Amino acid sequence: MSEAVLQPAADTVAGLLQARLGPGCVHQNTVDGIPTVWIPESRIVDALTYLKTGIDRPFNLLFDLSAVDERLREHRAGLPQADFTVFYHLMSLDRDEDIRIKVGLSGEFPHVDSVTGVFANANWYEREAWDMFGITFDGHPNLTRILTPPLWEGHPLRKEHPARATEMDPYKMTQEFQDAQQESLRFDPAEWGMTAHAAHTDFMFLNLGPNHPSVHGVFRIALQLDGEVIIDAVPDIGYHHRGAEKMGERQSWHTYIPYTDRIDYLGGVMNNLPYVMAVEMMAGIEVPPRAQYIRIMLAELFRISSHLVFYGTFAQDVGQMSPVFYMFADRERLFSIIEAITGGRMHPSWFRIGGVCQDLPEGWDTMVRDFVDYMPARMDHYEKMAMQNSILKQRSVGVGQYSTEEALEWGITGPSLRATGCDWDLRRKRPYGGYDQFDFEIPVADGGDVYDRARVRIEEIRQSLRIIRQCVDNMPSGPYKATHPQTTPPPKERTMQDIETLIHHFLNVSWGPVVPPSECCMMIEATKGWNSYYLTSDGGGMSYRTRIRTPSFPALQMIPLISNGFMIADLIAIIASIDFVMADVDR
């Protein structure tokens, strides 16, 4: 790593950690400015326990946990020797600080201690890291495949694993194959420590999904039932794993943008934002004000679009058949704006490294203004139709409750966190991409139940409309793309006039930009919670490792906690209130 390795001040968290663990800590500088500490692998449980319980204003949120296959990485001067690295990204909301702990592991299939005893949500993250890298987490209660099928061989994010389907054997659906796969998916209660009988009752096991109208995609939950009451639940994911992280290692920095759209497929260009911002930070690109405003406007339009889908399907899942038709009709009006500006609907892939794809078309402001004038009355109407409906209230108030502490323990972020009374919104607490110039409120509810989660999202639609109106009123003039040499694609105007610009344009379009060796994590307030892209560049035209932290993944892990003791019908309401899409879970 070209950046100098520094010693932290003693009063910082990194300094405190160093004092506790003694020599053997290595401090790495990263572009995002998050203190990054390499610690000896044997001390990981100790270190995380200390950060979570041993200091004041502790780090109580395990934001992300994953690994990097370091074996082919060239630019890592100053970093401890490692074949694989496991990283733990912790956050302290009280301090408004992050810290990244790394442990370097040696060997083909290394081991490290599990931290499931410290953070509850580490469970799925460690399973994912085992599934993807073959790293064993000693002491993990159930280290099994999570994203790939149970009979899968190999660990896809290891560098030696083939990326392309066309490099592997063709997919053949024989009867034997189908039977074996289906059998491997059969739910075995004993494997999860469940019994079939209790003192006065026999339990029933129900398999909900992977294709079920109310699970919002290909998602499966195995339920242990006493009559209609849920005793325990086991969510099963991986039916929607599209290998987006592996894809990042073979697409150029520029051509990866369309893949981000399809992560949270209701979020459209909102997904482009953390990715392009991370690349811009690594390349040192300043985005002009007009591009920032355009980005914010489109991102907020997509927040509304996503929340409208949530609103309609939520009402439908608790039994109202009509609202979804109203919300989808409004979504179509919104899409007519998206279409006029970007030419696309769900996946415009419209943000670029250094700006946006093109300037706003003539007449955009009338369209957007009409929409923000039109929506509030509709929202009032829906309020009466859906949210004030007494049956909807009875189905959702007091159902699936959790507290702020529980939310943080399980890694819940975004509207689902703000429904518990915590006012953490990244747009306000860590204004990125120009959000500091906007006036808006952070809707917060305090019940933490299904109804409140819906309530927060609905209020967010109104706040997004406010932000969009400010975009229309104050849209700056000027370029929609930076002039920095790494801007992709580079400005075209002068390419036919001087050779320097032509060469530059040619290289940047054919090979794509080359990003200096660095690491950067950029997180945003996406539609469903905090979404981050943690990119590692090895100085090439492609990412060395692309880690996508999505808000939906931890949310599903929490389902057993909030649904046990409720009825199956309540589970449907709970699932609806989480507002997830499976592409955002399995990536």
Partner 1 sequence: MRWRLTKAEPGHPMTEVDSAYQEDVSKSVLLAKVEDLIAWSRSNSIWPFNFGLSCCYVEMATAFTSRHDISRFGSEVIRATPRQADLIVVSGTVFRKMGPVLQHLYDQLLEPRWVISMGSCANSGGMYDIYSVVQGADKFLPVDVYVPGCPPRPEALLYGITLLQQAVADNPRPLSWTVDHDGRDVHVTRNPPSQRDLKTPQRIEVTELAEPTSVGDAPLSDDLLRSKASRGS
Q: Could you say which of 140, 246, 295, 427 contacts partner 1 (CB under 8 A)? A: 246
CA atoms within a 13 Å half-sphere pointing along the CA-CB vector of 393: 7
| 367 close to 394: Cβ distance less than 8 angstroms | no
182 binds partner 1 (CB under 8 A): yes
Q: Give the count of residues interacting with partner 1 (CB under 8 A).
A: 72
How far CA 202 is from CA of 192, 232, 543, in Å, comes to 17, 14, 53
Q: Please report, as residue ranges, which positions from 304 to 323 form the binding site for partner 1 (by CB under 8 A).
A: 309
95 binds partner 1 (CB under 8 A): no
Whichever of 278 and 334 has its CB closer to partner 1, that residue is 334
Q: Could you say which of 286, 370, 383, 500 contacts partner 1 (CB under 8 A)? A: 370
Q: Please report, as residue ranges, which positions from 136 to 175 form the binding site for partner 1 (by CB under 8 A).
A: 147-149, 156, 161-166, 168, 170-173
CA distance 74 to 538: 7
200 binds partner 1 (CB under 8 A): no
| 85 close to 105: Cβ distance less than 8 angstroms | yes
Question: Shortest Cβ distance from residue 161 to partner 1 (Å)?
Answer: 7
CA distance 549 to 539: 23
Placement of tokens 């301090």 in the chain: 95
Placement of tokens 């490792």 in the chain: 545
Q: What is the 3-state secondary structure (H, E, C) of 396-429?
A: HCCCCCCCHHHHHHCCCCCHHHHCCCCCCCHHHH
Question: Shortest Cβ distance from residue 489 to partner 1 (Å)?
Answer: 16
Q: Which long-range contacts (CB under 8 A, 24 or more apart) does 122-129 make?
A: 122/62, 122/65, 123/557, 124/553, 124/554, 124/557, 125/62, 125/64, 125/65, 125/66, 126/65, 128/66, 129/65, 129/66, 129/67, 129/86
Whichever of 82 and 582 has its CB closer to partner 1, that residue is 582
CA distance 514 to 511: 8
177 binds partner 1 (CB under 8 A): yes
Question: Shortest Cβ distance from residue 297 to partner 1 (Å)?
Answer: 14
Q: Please report, as residue ranges, which positions from 346 to 365 form the binding site for partner 1 (by CB under 8 A).
A: 346-347, 358, 361-364
Kindly indicate which of the ranges 99-107, 368-376, 405-413, 470-478 contains the residues binding partner 1, using the contact rule CB under 8 A. 368-376
Question: Shortest Cβ distance from residue 364 to partner 1 (Å)?
Answer: 6
Q: Could you say which of 324, 417, 520, 571 contacts partner 1 (CB under 8 A)? A: 324
Q: Please report, as residue ranges, which positions from 1 to 60 form the binding site for partner 1 (by CB under 8 A).
A: none
Kindly indicate which of the ranges 113-121, 180-188, 461-469, 539-547 contains the residues binding partner 1, using the contact rule CB under 8 A. 180-188
| 359 close to 480: Cβ distance less than 8 angstroms | yes
Whichever of 169 and 439 has its CB closer to partner 1, that residue is 169
Letters for 543-582 (x = contact with partner 1 by CB under 8 A, - = none) are ---------------------------------------x
Placement of tokens 């609103």 in the chain: 311
